[in-house]
Structure 1
């Protein structure tokens, strides 16, 4: 059975490596035009990624630090968000034992190439046609290939159409990226209660007048990105405030910056029975909680569970049951809606800045949540809010919170498609709601 993975970025290489590892019986093709550069954004991850990467490569943190400049990520430090605290942490759980990585996307791709067993076709794909059973892949040089399944990981769609659903809870749509040489060796200091906690490495999300800036340390450089709304602020305004921020940080920037416009969207149909959309081709949210690679993993695990697991046991490729196709699509669509709700919620209390952007971001969430049509998701979100509120205040009673979260016993979520036995709202457990809710002042102090 022929499987084609189309795309030379992070998602495409992850899919090709995953299939090579878990489904060697398939005839695998990895197709991408090497002349098309990857966008190289999305260098924060969630804890599932280190587990997956070691499973695929056998490499642990010391090896990866040497090979591709990764650093440990213990969580996100939010600065100037909400109306209560100058800083707060959103950890991974159990706190102190669980971590993710900060990665160089280009270097991770190079590592994964060694673990892909596939026929590589270096051509530009100009069209995909599916009848629900087979896929015809047309190349720019007028040649073609037929496959039984195709995974389309070619990145953002050039334009949105009727199959794309906008995720309007997210108030940003653009980024200005700057790479600064050298590793930011400063510890991340966060005061919680009367104690000062120090983190060797964490992603910083710093609210600024026109949006927010991520700070991601690697061993050889630090990545900075100003996330904003291009309909509210100009690139010149962003660059000016970016300069001011870096000056306050004592960082000198002399290189080239990259401007990126991004849609917050999801495909309405990720799988039609033969073509599966993956990564940024399937959906995208702004990088506030570093969900891009985590979503790719969840999509990949789901697709592995079904249909790849099913087809690997079949002698012939028949038409897949439409009801199963719809179950997969509904699950993945609901997942991205949950993520957009969780990320959009971060803006609900505004920031330390009373500016046009933050007034819009705050009102956009309040209006957007009232327009959501899926009442099941809203009810589940409300349940997680209540559970988060019921925890001890993670800032003023941090030690009690840590002990309680360590003891907290989660139950299975509505599905095991993501290979998880932890109850989460998409990627995030009730502890996340506690830290973000109390941190930004959404929950009243008791």
Structure 2
């Protein structure tokens, strides 16, 4: 019996020893794999006890210690950069069971080394027995971010200068359109003054001066004198007509100058802050824009049709920005009608409601637009005019978007006229 028990004890002991060896081999294999993973990573990995002493450190951690402090991290030693108040705070926070993270910079050979440091608590049951430190070199990333930020600042400056150039171009284009009307009005006034009947009044005064000694006989007996009252009456009527004509042209000239002042003032305000929104009666503003071209339209024989729907009324917009768009559209229509050489030049202005939008249409029966050109019409720099610069429609489309609307063009092709449609949200 004792022999049997002895044999059984020996057998169990041998089997336990075998199982223990197997368990140790498995543990060593797992440890080897874990160490292999830690050594293969490019991150710094350090295990610390509650006192901040090194339990283990991978090769990257040792290399970092050698690089920064000129010595390798040893088991049981303290990390020199743990003396940093920020790292000490993170380490103490990890010992309370909370994950901690910080970016820190270390001077290495005159060049800053930026590290992304993370502390994770190590638990044993419900007690924190230490922390693991993971750190990654993010110096290149931070330098790339700095270069990207600098590039972004440069792009912002370029964009700002481009915007300033676009505003300046808008000023030149819109002022140029209005100056055409100013030039036409000025020439008209000059021509009327050159052809004025006032020269006849000078002759009449000279004739009276010559016959001053016999004025009664001159008016009653001289054939020229008998015609004098009728002549003065006719001359007075002609001079009155000339006066009214010149005053009307000067009024239009003043309106054009006021528009130039408004454009310049609006652009100056736009450089600082957005334009002021106000309630604008579109038919009235469209008539104002039309008056800027009225003289040239009349002389070119362009027939104007107004189709204003009674219900179509007001929008909340920047008045001068909308006026710029309308002036540009009317100017383009005038060019299209002049180039067509057709005798029945016709321009139609329509204002109507379309749901929650107000639709403003400027339609002409001029030269029309080919389909391939229609697709590029609002592109910056594109123009079909010999002396054009391709900014008018582009800026008008941008302004329409800024007003919360849109600008579109339709044409059935060359020689078929064109219709520009501006849609704006109703007030």
TM surpasses 0.5: no
**Which bin holds the TM-score, normalised by the shorter protein?**
under 0.3
- The higher relative CO (CA closer than 8 Å, separation ≥ 6) is in 1
- Between Structure 1 and Structure 2, which shows a larger proportion of helix residues? 2
TM-score (norm 1): 0.23
TM-score (norm 2): 0.24
Question: Which has more radius of gyration?
Answer: 2
